[in-house]
Amino acid sequence: MAAPNLLPQLNGPPPLTQAILPESPPFDVATPLSAYLLVTAAESEAVQRYGCCQGQPKAVKDAAAHEVLASRVVGFLFPALWNMRHSLGDTPVARLATEVVSAPGNSEIYALGRKYIDHLICSFRTTTVPLRPPSSHPSRPSIDQLEDMLTDAVQGSATDHRSARTRALARDGYHCMITNNVDFGSFYQNEAIKKLRLGTGAAVRVVQTCHILNESSILQNIEPNDEYPQQARPQHVGGALAILKMFGLGDLVERLMTRGPTASASGVHDLLNILSLTTDVHIIFDKLMLALEPVVDKPNTYDVVFADPETAIGFFGLKNQITLTNFVDTRKFRLDGELELPLPDPRLLALHAVCVRVAHMSGAAEALDEFDRDMEETSVLAEDGASAHLLNMIFSSLVSAAA
């Protein structure tokens, strides 16, 4: 395996006592540049305030630390979104710049950072991988012919996790999209997959269904008086979709909606939001330690990028660049006309990659990991770590370490 693609490496969490945003961003466009400079000024003010409150109560130090992190998240969003223009277009950078220049002061810039952590980063980050049903019922008879398997797979409703998993595995050739490992359940329950694996040398592993934008951020075009009363609805619900709309991705939002005249029948389980990944790859993807960054002018081709070199160890034979294909298409297989088994949407993967870079460079990743550890010990909040009051809780250890 060649040396893995890595994000710029940091020597521990970025210090809270000095500004880290680059003085010059990788663009020279008037409005985004003006906005970026406002953010760097906001970071400098927050760092100065944090440095002046070391003898103050912990709550005061925490509040200053929150502002440092929030400003860094907004600051690093600019170059991350700029470098994904080939997939996302110019709208996200322009809208972010408009939000910043419209902010009356630094307090509002810090509020923007908190919004993007809670409603964007946390919506692409999942801290647990739930156990899911096997790909087919254990008592189900083995299918010998691959075409019969594909026919059986695509006839599902695609409105629940099991059906989406079955269709995703068919689309992805019953392999992990990154490691090429064959799905354990499919291999041992279907002779057709055993024949497919012959001569490939692929390992047999558990392959799971991975949502790019996590389920808790979408399963909820919930109206008042529905499953959640208005006052009890998770506050990050709708926030992620609102940001996607603001970024010009309204068509994606409509596909992911579960209600409304233009909603997809699949909603969160639409295959454009789904990857097939082995368990270990699934975990690091969900924890924003692995990104698939779209490659310019190469459709459905992605650089596989790790946030940490230690995480990349052990993935023998893993390619640094992959091209996703629809296995059903390669078999020239059709069912009653055109078959819709879409590949993952490059824009969703681009936004996930943006969140990986921003979380890593800003220090949000370490703060969220610390929050997860505290959450496991206290069992106070939801398992996905998304809370409108997230930043009130995540800095205790980091602040103590930096003091």
Tens digits of residue pLDDT in 87-108? 999 999 999 999 999 999 999 9
Same domain, 75 and 182: no
CA-based end-to-end distance of the chain: 41
Compute the distance between CA of residue 165 and CA of residue 369 in angstroms, rounded to an integer: 28
Q: What is the pLDDT of residue 132?
A: 52
- In a shared domain, residues 224 and 323: no
* 305 and 171 part of one domain: yes
Which 8-state DSSP code applies to residue 176? -
Shared domain for 114 and 73, answered yes or no, is yes
Q: Which of 121, 70, 126 is nearest to 372 (CA)?
A: 126
Q: For the segment 340-367, what is each residue's pLDDT rounded down to a tens digit?
A: 789 999 999 999 999 999 999 999 998 8
pLDDT for residue 228: 33
Number of domains in the chain: 3
Q: Give bridge partners of residue 292 from the DSSP assignment.
A: 304
Q: Is 182 helix (H, G, I), strand (E, B) or coil?
A: strand
Query: How do residues 300-314 score in pLDDT, each as one tens digit?
Result: 999 999 999 988 888
Pairing between strand 182-183 and 204-205? parallel
Q: 188 and 280: one domain?
A: yes
Sign of the torsion angle spanned by Cα atoms 165, 167, 170, 171:
negative
Helices (H) and strands (E) in the chain, counts: 17, 8
Residues 357 and 276 in one domain: no
Determine the distance from the C-alpha atom of residue 382 to the mean position of all C-alpha atoms in its chain, rounded to a whole number.
Answer: 18
DSSP letter for 90, please: S
Q: At 145, phi and psi to the nearest 5?
A: -100, 130
Could you tell me how many residues make up the chain? 403
Which positions of the chain have pLDDT values less than 50? Answer: 131, 133-141, 220-238, 262-263, 337-338, 380-391, 393-403
**DSSP-assigned letter for residue 300:** T
Tell me, yes or no, whether 229 and 208 share the same domain.
Answer: no
| Domain hosting residue 63, numbered range | 7-126+353-402
